[in-house]
A and B are shown apart, each in its own frame.
Chain A
Amino acid sequence: MSAMTDTLPGSGTFARGVHPPERKGLSGPKAIEVLPTPKQVAIPLLQHTGAPCEPAVKPRDAVALGQVIGTSQAFISAPVHASVAGVAQMGSVATLPNGRHVKTVPIKAEGEQLEGEALLADVFGGDWPTQGLHTHEPKAIAQAVRDAGIVGLGGAAFPTSVKFARNEAKPVDVLLVNGCECEPYLTADYRLMMEYPAPIVTGALLAAHAAGAKRVVIAIEDNKRDAAEKVRAAAGGTHVEVAVLHTKYPMGGERQTILAALKREVPTGGLPLDVGVVVINVGTAAAVARAVLRGKPLTHRVVSVTGAGVREPKNLLVPVGVSYGELIDFCGGLTDDAARIVAGGPMMGFTLADLSTPVTKGTSGVTVLTRDDVRRAEQTNCVRCGRCVDVCPLRLVPTKMAMAAKFRDWELAKRYHLQACCECGCCGYACPASIPLVQLIRLGKAQIPKE
């Protein structure tokens, strides 16, 4: 089956990987709804990879929607903005799902709020031109993106403006917009492409112009052909290409997407930039369009609330800083057999210990898994079946890496390329002996002595 457009060099897939149950049907058919304005949000001052922000407002200051409440001078950083109108509270600390303790600026909602259909129309509605975008200066686009606090919305939350900084030694020829959404359950990107493909295309064109890329490719897995059609229709009359890739986990990992669509291998320890590519998520592209054309910061994002452990799975447009608990309550609460609440998808997401944890810019979903979903066979010794080797998308030997990490044999760990691991979780998913391979490898990566 040739899923690719004829014009792209990639084969449409990558070697190895796994096919976990997709379960996109739970929230996939649900149109994006707007979460009613919460009473209070807690906006973390570090939601991205890079330097944390310093608070720009004092307690009891009145803040407007979109007002800057935290900034940083560091190159790799992104400001944060108020996602509701109201009054700033005494600063607090939250523990994000990945375990980082970060300072937050709580804001109590007061006064008139932009909400409901009006908010949806403000964020995604209106006209999104696809012509005449060259009038925007590349540097101005990067600055607008920085000022809007845009970070990668796919999960890694890397500041997007940094990707647009031109590097003479490493010219960019392709801007790849990632709409693969390969994590099971999650449908936030899918809904965005289905309902609002126009801002994605406009954002992609602006991003390509900023990064200096001649080609624009939007990559979508073939389990979302309807979304691919919508995006293709929205991209009519532009030079944006749509690549329909094979559905396989972790297709949405940028190394895999680039390999499948463009047949380029990002060097280990390097960046897509090293092979002339800049990758942004479809949600990021829409945010870029909004920031550049309308001067609006990133204050809201689409989040899937899904899984068999939540009563009414939904896709929600939510303000950054709202608690996970409120999203779940709005979706009818948890079922009796809910066992794990995962921030993100079930393959790479982190479990929540506390439902008051705030949603950040990088939160693509919350997946509530039931006892039955997370059940797995009793752990046994490794029987060296090599299944982890057969599925590793990076062609590593996970069981050896995990054992080397467990016994702190760093020489062995290096010989098996421990640091090359992207922690996608294919090995842990496939392991017949139920060994926590990813956990051991992560431990090893954190403990291995640096050169």
Chain B
Amino acid sequence: MAENTEHAAETTGELEVAPGPHLASRALTTRRMMLDVLIALLPATAVAIWVFQWYAAAQIAVCVASCVATEWLLMTLWWRKGVTVKDCSAVVTGLILAFSIPAACPWWVSVIASFVAIALGKVVFGGVGMNIFNPAMVGRAFVMVSFAGFLAAGGYVARTAGVVGEVGNVTQTVPWLFTRHIPDAMSQATPMTAAFKAGKGFDLMALFLGNTNGSMGETSALACLIGGLYLCLRRTAAWQIPLGAIVGLGVLAGIDNLVNPAAEWTALHHLLGGAFLLGAFFIVTDPVSSPLTPWGRFLYGVLFGVLVMLVRLLTNYPEGVMFSVLLVNAIAPLLNRWTIPRPVGGPVPVRVKK
């Protein structure tokens, strides 16, 4: 028997001993999931560049570059794992962040937002997969509080060539490259402030296609739907979350419609306007900060939709996606715990010692 063994072993090098399963699905890796998000954001990127032109390109470049640089620097210094930039998650954070802020936002605000997003949103927790809150929203929340003017309603409007974000008597000029032309969209107020808070309607087709002012990625409902459906079909985003969000927002918006039948801003405006669809498909679906169980995901989505509507209807803010994302992120672990599924065959019986 021994000679046979030697013979068989002769034909090869070393044999591995490893636990099963010995096959792995190649369909999905962490990196592939991140690339999926980038692919899904392509339509929204195209619309952003169409509507905001150079402003969009510059904003995306600044946010993505600073997020990646921060990730590499801090992961190397802190966790000695600088290689994690390879998973592309910092690129996703940068893009989402760029999409959630005004095109006219000064570059240094974007850099600060990116740094906070990665440093306080992700690295302090231990890097990819360990964070509790959505990093992009952490970054945005930080600059929204710190530099309110640039992210409030006024921050979206460029009044005269070369001047954006007039806050008090501080004016922020844009780099010379962009001073020649201000895209039309940027000279108007966002639909959420212009029409919704004033109780007026808005052209639904404009909200759908996206030729309006707003945060860069939110303007086109169509682009968000195309990318969002791709993400759900690839199952990189859990379909239960956007479904729940649409149900949650739709029901509250429908009730609002019934209470104020004369309002020109209808439930459909609520659905297509603002950052809701961007949030429902791309931000709140961030797997790291959302629940794992099917029902947990659905409830999480519903809660998100309801919170967005509550902020829109009951507060002075025209939009509530950021706050809602951060609030539901905090509840995700609890939702996991509340919705542990019943195993097939029922729970493990507790054996009583005789």
Do A and B actually bind?
A: yes
Once bound together, how far apart are the Cα atoms of A349 and B21, in whole Å?
A: 7
- Cβ contact within 8 Å between B11 and A420: no
Cβ of A444: which chain B residues have Cβ within 8 Å of it? Answer: none
Interface hits, B322-354 → A, CB 8 Å: 336-337, 340-353
Name the segment of B23-31, B192-200, B208-216, B303-311 touching the other chain.
Answer: B23-31
Encoded as 1 (CB less than 8 Å from any B CB) or 0, chain A from 404 to 437 comes to 0000000000111111100001101111111010
Name the segment of B61-69, B108-116, B171-179, B287-295 touching the other chain.
Answer: B287-295
Cβ of B243 within 8 Å of any chain A Cβ, yes or no, is no
Cβ of A420: which chain B residues have Cβ within 8 Å of it? Answer: 343, 345, 347-348
Cβ of B352: which chain A residues have Cβ within 8 Å of it? Answer: 451
Cβ of B29: which chain A residues have Cβ within 8 Å of it? Answer: 377, 432-434
Interface hits, A147-167 → B, CB 8 Å: none
- Cβ contact within 8 Å between A380 and B87: yes
Cβ of A434: which chain B residues have Cβ within 8 Å of it? Answer: 24, 29
Name the contact of A346 in the complex, choosing from B20, B84, B345 (C-beta under 8 A): B20
- Cβ contact within 8 Å between A346 and B21: yes
Cβ of B181 within 8 Å of any chain A Cβ, yes or no, is no
Cβ of A139 within 8 Å of any chain B Cβ, yes or no, is no
- Cβ contact within 8 Å between A439 and B19: yes
Cβ of A326 within 8 Å of any chain B Cβ, yes or no, is yes
Cβ of A9 within 8 Å of any chain B Cβ, yes or no, is no
- Cβ contact within 8 Å between A268 and B18: no
- Cβ contact within 8 Å between A429 and B21: yes
Residue of B whose beta carbon sits closest to that of A274: B345
A346 in contact with B11 given A323-B1, A383-B30 (CB within 8 Å):
no
Cβ of A347: which chain B residues have Cβ within 8 Å of it? Answer: 20-23
Between A259, A270, A355, the greatest number of chain B beta carbons within 10 A of the residue's beta carbon is seen for A355
- Cβ contact within 8 Å between A383 and B341: no
Once bound together, how far apart are the Cα atoms of A432 and B129, in whole Å?
A: 12
Residue of A whose beta carbon sits closest to that of B341: A395
- Cβ contact within 8 Å between A184 and B341: no
Cβ of B262 within 8 Å of any chain A Cβ, yes or no, is no
In the complex, the number of residue pairs spanning A and B with C-beta atoms less than 8 Å apart equals 224
Name the contact of A329 in the complex, choosing from B7, B19, B350 (C-beta under 8 A): B7
Cβ of B316 within 8 Å of any chain A Cβ, yes or no, is no
Least CB distance from B243 to A in Å reads 15
Cβ of B136: which chain A residues have Cβ within 8 Å of it? Answer: none
Once bound together, how far apart are the Cα atoms of A110 and B137, in whole Å?
A: 77
Name the segment of A65-73, A279-287, A312-320, A384-392 touching the other chain.
Answer: A384-392
Name the contact of A429 in the complex, choosing from B12, B24, B292, B351 (C-beta under 8 A): B24
Residue of B whose beta carbon sits closest to that of A420: B343
- Cβ contact within 8 Å between B127 and A381: yes
Least CB distance from B333 to A in Å reads 10
- Cβ contact within 8 Å between B294 and A329: no
Cβ of A433: which chain B residues have Cβ within 8 Å of it? Answer: 29-30, 129
- Cβ contact within 8 Å between B5 and A325: yes
Residue of B whose beta carbon sits closest to that of A373: B23
- Cβ contact within 8 Å between B25 and A338: no
Cβ of B28: which chain A residues have Cβ within 8 Å of it? Answer: 385, 387, 430, 432
Cβ of A130 within 8 Å of any chain B Cβ, yes or no, is no
Cβ of B236 within 8 Å of any chain A Cβ, yes or no, is yes
A268 in contact with B8 given A351-B17, A429-B25 (CB within 8 Å):
no
Interface hits, A308-344 → B, CB 8 Å: 323, 325-326, 328-329, 333-336, 338-342
Residue of A whose beta carbon sits closest to that of B18: A351
Least CB distance from B71 to A in Å reads 14
Cβ of B247 within 8 Å of any chain A Cβ, yes or no, is no
Cβ of B261 within 8 Å of any chain A Cβ, yes or no, is no
Interface hits, B1-53 → A, CB 8 Å: 1-2, 4-5, 7-9, 11-13, 15-26, 28-33
What are 13 contact pairs spanning A and B, CB under 8 A? A255-B344, A267-B345, A329-B8, A336-B13, A342-B22, A346-B23, A347-B20, A351-B15, A355-B8, A377-B31, A428-B24, A433-B29, A436-B19
Residues of A within 8 A of B (CB): 18, 20-21, 38-40, 42, 184, 255, 259, 265-270, 323, 325-326, 328-329, 333-336, 338-342, 346-356, 367, 369, 373-377, 380-387, 389-390, 393-397, 399-400, 414-420, 425-426, 428-434, 436, 438-439, 442, 451
Given contacts A356-B2, A383-B30, A432-B28, 9 further A-B contacts (CB under 8 A): A336-B13, A352-B15, A352-B17, A356-B5, A380-B128, A397-B336, A416-B340, A420-B343, A433-B129
Closest 8 CB pairs of A and B: A381-B129, A425-B21, A376-B24, A377-B29, A268-B345, A325-B8, A439-B19, A432-B28
